[in-house]
A and B are shown apart, each in its own frame.
Chain A
Amino acid sequence: MRWFYMHFPHLYGETWNTPFERQQPIVLIKEHGSYVIDANKAAQDKGVENGILVNTAFCLAPEMEIITMLPHKEAQALRRVAKFAYRFSAWVGLDFPDGLYLEVASMRKFFGGLPQLKTRIETLFQELGYRFHIAAAPTPKASRMLARSGIHVCVDEHRFQDILRKVPVECLELPEPTQLRLQKLGLRTAHDITELPAGDLAYRVDSELALYLNQALGRQDWRPDPFIMPEDFQLKVDMEQEFESLNPLLFPLAAAVKRFCLFLQNRCLVSQFLTIKLIHRKHAETLMPIHLATADNRIDSWTYMLSMQIARVTLPAPVTGFKLKASEFEEIPPSSLVLFQNAGGAHEDKKAYLINRLAARIGAEQLQFVGLSDDPRPEKQTLYNSQPLQPAHPPENMMMESPVWLLSSPQEVDIRQYHLIRGPLRLHSGWWDGSIASRDYYIAATSPRPTAAEITSVALHWLFRTPQNQWFMHGIFS
């Protein structure tokens, strides 16, 4: 009994749609799928089962909510439980999409025996709100076979054989054609299959199945690839003396931030967030988060940000030490890895540098990225966002003669004060969000009939007329 296997039948729902067990029925489906992959209890109580058609499920629970499972979120959910399982085993293996292998023989002593270990695992995952089946067996695949058949046991080799007699073929989650071949030979339980010579089974039924059984029975060695915990950065520095002001602290803090940057650079990572906690003797820790506008790993970016941030902190008590912590990293975008970076790349770097400095000055929340939308309505063409926006294609028929200075809201004007110079350009669009714009745009001079003397003081305005014949000013030309 060296391996545990944990099967989380509702992993996706329990990770991403908490609380999964609620009054409203929930059904999970794959992208573009028409079959139910998982359902919560409210849905099951109405008769929804895994594997039935979504249409049938609609008959049973018309009010149900349908959630489409996204592949990357599936993988993320499994890694999340793997992190917790890592507390109990140094060798955790992922079995996509919803199972974990845990090597436990080596941990037995540390936890005081397998039953104790099993109890602790169960307690933790129950507290976390997951439902699961757990089984232990001599080989990883054997424990998998048991847990996925819903049999919670800890068995040795001999008992494993016994139990296989009770496991129907349908519980082995075999592919449909293999299951059909077994049925057509009258083979019903896992035990029926293990009795057959492995070579014959491989040739006559399915080689994958034969391999699976061999590995489960220990005839062939197999171990899962070990799961590697994602790292995080933590650093604690104790000061030899107490600091009452921050300025002298800047040097050791900068040294620590430098170590953080080296940590990132060594791993080809960049980060946007770093938390610094200042430790006081009797007072609660002072939180000093550093937030970059764009992810970075250069020392000067971070130290500049640090110096800006320090200026904003008022100390409640003298500082005796500090802690640094960061756990959200991104991989460096592939373009930055080119050996000879082109000028464009350097330009990007400078931009990031500038943006980070700006953010440090005025606060990250004050900094917004400007983007262009493809909406034909002028007032909707400029977008503001806290994250950089993907460059959008400007509308093909965009008004070419629009002024740079656009009023935030159009002002009604008296057309008699104007002299129309050019137009109209007609806009009739935007019905999809309910605010349809139906306008004729004109360029107009502010004087009805400018004299030669006036001509220098005349301004050009961008006007539009509505179907109701009202006139508005929407912008001013330089």
Chain B
Amino acid sequence: MQPMNFAELHCISNYSFLRGASHPEELVQQAILEGYKGLAITDECSVAGVIKAWKAMQEFKDRNFKLVIGSEFYFQDECFVVLCQNRQGYGELCRLITSCRRRAEKGDYHFSPEDLHSLYHCLLLWRPYQQEGSKPPHYLNRLLQHFSQRFWLLLEQHLVGQDLTRRSNIEALARQLQLPVVASSYAQMHHPERKVLHDVLAAIRLNTPVHQIKSRLLPNAEHHLRQLSKLAAIYKPQYLAESLHILQQCEFELGELCYQYPEESVPKGYTAKTYLRETTYQGAHKRYPDGIPESVVKLIEKELLIIDELDYEYYFLTIYDIVRYARSQEILCQGRGSAANSVVCYCLGITEVDPTKASLLFERFISKRRNEPPDIDVDFENARREEVIQYIYNRYGRDRCAIAATVITYRSKSAMRDLGKALGVDLMQMENVIANYGWRYRGKNWVDEVITPHISQDNHILTCMRTLLPQLQGFPRHLSQHVGGFIISQGPLIDLVPIENASMADRTVIQWDKDDLESLKLMKVDILALGMLTAIRKSLDYISGYKGQPLTMADIPKHDDPLVYGMLQKADTIGLFQVESRAQMNMLPRLKPKEYYDLVVQVAIVRPGPIHGDMVHPYLKRKNHQEEPDVPLPELKPILERTFGVPIFQEQVIAIAMVGADFNADEAEDLRRSMASWKKQGHMNRLRRKLTERLLAKGVTQEYADRLCRQIEGFGEYGFPESHAASFALLAYISGWLKYYHPAAFLCGLLNSQPMGFYRPWQLVQDAQRHGVAVLPVDINCSTWDHYLQTHPDASQEGSVRMGFRSVKGLSQEAAETIVCLRPTHGFRTMNEVMNLPAVGRDDLEALASANAFQGLGKHRYQQRWEASAFHFYHQLFMDLEPPSNELTAPGRLDNIIEDYSSTAVILSDHPMAYLREQSALEDCSSAESLYGFDAGKEVFVAGVVTNRQRPGTSAGVTFVTLEDETGSINVVIWLQTALRQMETLVKARLLKIYGKIDKDAGGEVVHVIAYKLFDLSEQLVRLESKSRDFH
């Protein structure tokens, strides 16, 4: 047979979510392998997968293969395939997809054939609905006219019973309408092996197990990229040849998309280059009022040169524009990322990280060698980020900016759940298996470890799961909104990429994700929200308030304050940014940060990457001079010197790959992007092997290379680059400074920014109280909606924190504001005065009574609530009725504790443990603060309220529990054997007493109690409660 050629022009990838069973990359590779001349990726009303296909094609540049961009649309069982001929055609397609998507709910689209009339530079392939004797649809004539010479009939034959009728119908239609016919496989997978996955995807889409939807499944696997010889046996040669004819007419290549930066950021009379230079130097003069140091000038010039060479001026200026707006509105913000830590950004006010103060720091800025786009993320106060977003929309217009998509892909757990549903296994059992498996530290054989007979007794099902799970992993599930990645363009964005609705009202997302944008070198600005910035801004406002002079983040002394670092070294960090978690608190006394760079390491070291790569202990030993710093290769010295030869940051790992393993720029970029999927099979294995082999060849030990690979694996879970750690460390330092010097203002700022951080308000309040901050209860005559600082008699001192009405559960803000607004100068004297206020309803009154806000007005909270509950009934509806007087029993001490907690979530003046201690229930127990005085190894009893409890898993080996008593918190470690023996107490107790051994580390600064035995005290509290009531 003569060799023939063919191009597949109707093919969907897995970006037609839950329909296509192959990645776009796989389709391209397979098409090339089969010797196709071209391939069109025509996902359903989408171009979300095309960039991945295009990237894959780049690797085969020298081959004679063409990628066509298109999309398919369904209308009443008829399929319309649109292919772009050129750049204009692509723009038209994007507009068509956008309009179809914008008409429908998120994830859906509405299409009608009339929409196709907007296409002038696209080709149309039509697969009519097959039915005996059906007439051509009414819209056909107009379409034929519009697409004259651009219209084909699609013939798709899959070796099924209907093939014959289909073919004769199409051929009859072709004769009747004088239209050419083109052959296609309607490929939905790259290889027939994916048939099983294709069936499973259908089951997931229809939310029904596979064996119940047999009629909806394809009868065979012919919807794949079939061998040319097979196609030749099925189709007439002219139908196959027609595909090449079409291919010739499609000239569009994604590389043609050129992006223009928005020009608004440059005022008239300037070029981007001159404007950036001028603003940078203006900023520099402000930053260095005593004259710009020579070294800084040099750096600025060097950076401006690189920016110029890479044409990044607009990028910096756009971010400068956004940040300047935020500053004008007094919205706190802070940039981070590799480019953010440049001197230029410091001068433009995008970041506060002073490059001269941290000179040992970074392999600075964007290097030309590395082919990566500039990376600046800007964090804004979470409460006011929306204002910034609205500013961007207003300034650039909605057709020129949109948020990038995040492709939600199947991860191991979600893949397991959906597979389980599709295969019809017991979901409860499945959830249990998922919950009990130690995901974080899973090994290579995790699929075999997690797919066990616990999930199903049916071996066949288990085998299917084992094969399908790795296949399904990484499959896209749907598009979601990126946390804050904006793309802004000079021209209309919808000519560049389709826009669709997001689930949030008034939000739209583009169909490409961050990686796609990077591939096309489009500019993305990350506008992120950070709760801590809100808290810091509020704290600064309160301090400015009582000091009488404004204090900004820039005014906080950045020199390394030993007092603040002293506090950090003691792990006294509740409420601080980034370093407040239990794991961070354990690390602080070991790492003993003394200066800014230590804090940068501290922020990054308690992460899966360094932990997984076993880099933590070597670093600590070398830092504490217990071990000599050692660099595996001399050329790695500049990279690793500042971390004593131990790679901690993502940048270092990449630099090792480049310098140590001679990765070129592209490979390094590949490595950076692939970190998230390091564990996946395929080409990542290649990178891994290359890295290991080359390092070994240079004389690095196998053990070191292995650790490096494990670390990269860990980065995949949560990569942390030095450039981000640097910005975070600064915020951590600032929050530490605030906590040390202005604890009351800091507490107030934190409480008014809830919910955020690691701790609940009660824990923050207790911590502040232990630091000498006076916290006053909610009071009808003193509180405002927010918590605030009451003025101190000595005006230069911090006052006490007055709890605000916002802490009262069930109280509306409107009512609280009415109370504040209409409060008499001498205050309310009776409850009736409050109850007569407008806009204060019964629920509000009850909530206030229970929160004890009326305590200054006589009677107890139960009685006040009773009166509040029927005030409107007796005083407004039925004025003549006399309310019956009912004396309710006054609350006891424990009742007050319970009520305080249930009404305001904060207990100010008491603690359940203090109560129990006084009731002699804890006679043998040591308090949290006394533990520091004990020697390691001493056996003690401790007790407390359980504030943090992990779900005990059988594979983790250890369960961490945090208890809290009136003096502080107690960290308890429970080994697996103890946990298994006392599982009931462990999972159920709300009040726990532990008998165990004290374990100390880092010179006595880290104290744990290793549990031997657990006692559930929850009952104790109930018993005491009833006993106390017996006395009434």
Contact = CB atoms under 8 A, between A and B. Distances in A.
Interface of A: 29, 46-47, 49, 52, 54-56, 58-60, 62, 66, 180, 183-188, 196-197, 200, 203-205, 373-376, 392-401, 424-429, 431-434, 440
B176 interface: no
A242 to B, nearest CB: 59
- By size class, the interface of chain B is 35 or more
Contacts, number: 133
A184 B428 contact: no
Contacts of A374: 214-215
B862 A185 contact: yes
9 contacts: A47-B983, A60-B987, A186-B888, A425-B159, A428-B195, A429-B220, A431-B196, A432-B211, A432-B464
Contacts of B464: 431-432
Nearest to A434: B460
B951 interface: yes
B161 A400 contact: yes
Given A374-B214, A400-B161, A428 B984 contact: no
Contacts of B429: 66
Given A399-B161, A426-B160, A431-B199, A186 B889 contact: yes
Interface stretch (B400-408, B566-574, B612-620, B864-872): B864-872
Given A396-B215, A425-B159, A434-B460, A59 B220 contact: no
A185 B987 contact: no
A59 B952 contact: yes
Contacts of B428: 29, 54, 66
Contacts of B210: 432
Contacts of A60: 983-984, 987
B862 A428 contact: no
A196 to B, nearest CB: 6
Contacts of B216: 396
Interface in B149-180: 158-163
B159 A395 contact: no
A55 B952 CA distance: 11
Contacts of A426: 158-160, 219-220, 222
B218 A397 contact: yes
Q: 5 tightest CB-CB pairs across the interface, nearest first?
A: A47-B984, A374-B215, A400-B161, A426-B159, A428-B220
A428 B160 CA distance: 11
Nearest to B426: A66
A56 B952 CA distance: 9
Contacts of A427: 219-220
Nearest to A424: B159
B865 A185 contact: yes
Interface string B419-462: 00001001011011001100000000000000000000000100
B432 A376 contact: no
B866 A203 contact: no
Nearest to B1016: A47
A395 B222 CA distance: 17
Contacts of B161: 397-401, 425
Given A55-B435, A425-B159, A203 B870 contact: yes
A194 B264 CA distance: 74
B103 interface: no
Nearest to A393: B215
A11 B299 CA distance: 80
Contacts of A392: 215
Nearest to B213: A374
B215 A395 contact: yes
A52 B215 CA distance: 41
Nearest to A438: B220
Contacts of A393: 215
A211 B432 CA distance: 43
A188 B1030 CA distance: 12
Contacts of A196: 886
B216 to A, nearest CB: 7
A429 B886 contact: no
Contact of B432 (A29, A58, A425, A431): A58
Given A47-B987, A428-B195, 20 more contacts: A52-B988, A55-B431, A58-B432, A59-B987, A60-B987, A62-B432, A200-B884, A203-B870, A374-B215, A375-B214, A394-B215, A395-B215, A396-B215, A397-B161, A425-B159, A426-B158, A426-B220, A428-B220, A429-B220, A432-B210
A101 to B, nearest CB: 31
B363 interface: no
Contacts of A49: 988
Given A395-B214, A400-B162, A428 B987 contact: no
Contact of B884 (A46, A55, A197, A432): A197
A428 B221 contact: yes
Interface in B890-940: 890-891, 895, 898-899, 902-903
B870 A186 contact: no
Nearest to A435: B460
Contacts of A29: 428
B192 interface: yes
Nearest to A374: B215
A197 B951 CA distance: 47
B987 A184 contact: no
B228 to A, nearest CB: 18
Given A54-B428, A59-B987, A60-B987, A428 B219 contact: yes
Given A197-B884, A429-B219, A432-B210, A186 B891 contact: yes
B117 interface: no
Contacts of B195: 428-429, 431
B860 to A, nearest CB: 9
Most chain B C-beta atoms within 10 Å of own C-beta, residue among A29, A55, A205, A440:
A55
